[in-house]
Amino acid sequence: MTEQQKPEEMTIEKRRLRMWLRMLRTTKSVETRLREFLRDKHDTTLPRFDVLAALYRAEDGLKMSALSKQLLVSNGNVTGIVDRLVSDGLVKRIMVENDRRSTVVCLSSKGRKNFLRMADQHAMLIDGLFSNIDDTDLNVMADIFARLKQKEDAHEQIG
């Protein structure tokens, strides 16, 4: 709504809103490119990739509840996604000792190999999409995102 206004004429509230809309647009656009890449090169989806990535980071596996919490991209039908990954042999369910009612899910060795192959190409794709973002920019953004995360963590402790 305010795209035409010059930044120096805008209130800080409007500038923050504009920045948010641009960040949202950038994120959506990168997500679209990732979806295309996963579909065209690996015949898979962003939610599946995301589940594999979360399980790769958790070496001892995750309870389903912890997995849902960690997912970055979409936690739509996590159970359905995990069921499919298990039947494809990429993920396995393991009983937790001393707690018969609960299981954790973790990558199989096939799942690990499969993920690492995709992750390498995923990193290259992201590197290409952000190739005009240099070290100085990355330092500034790391600082900004760290401050936002601090603020959010403080909110969660209060909330």
Q: Where are the beta strands (DSSP E) in 50-90?
A: 62-63
How many CA within 13 A on the CB side of residue 20?
7
Q: Is 95 in the site for a copy of itself (CB under 8 A)?
A: no
- Are 35 and 45 a contacting pair, CB within 8 Å? yes
Residues forming a β-bridge with 94: 104
Q: Is 66 in the site for a copy of itself (CB under 8 A)?
A: no
Of 6-14, 77-85, 94-102, 106-114, the segment contacting a copy of itself by CB under 8 A is 6-14
**75 vs 148: CA distance, rounded Å:** 22
Q: How far is the CB of 105 from a copy of itself (least distance, A)?
A: 18
Query: Which spans of this chain sit near a copy of itself (rule: CB under 8 A)?
Result: 1, 7, 12-31, 56-57, 72-73, 123-124, 126-127, 129-135, 137-142, 144-145, 147-149, 151-152
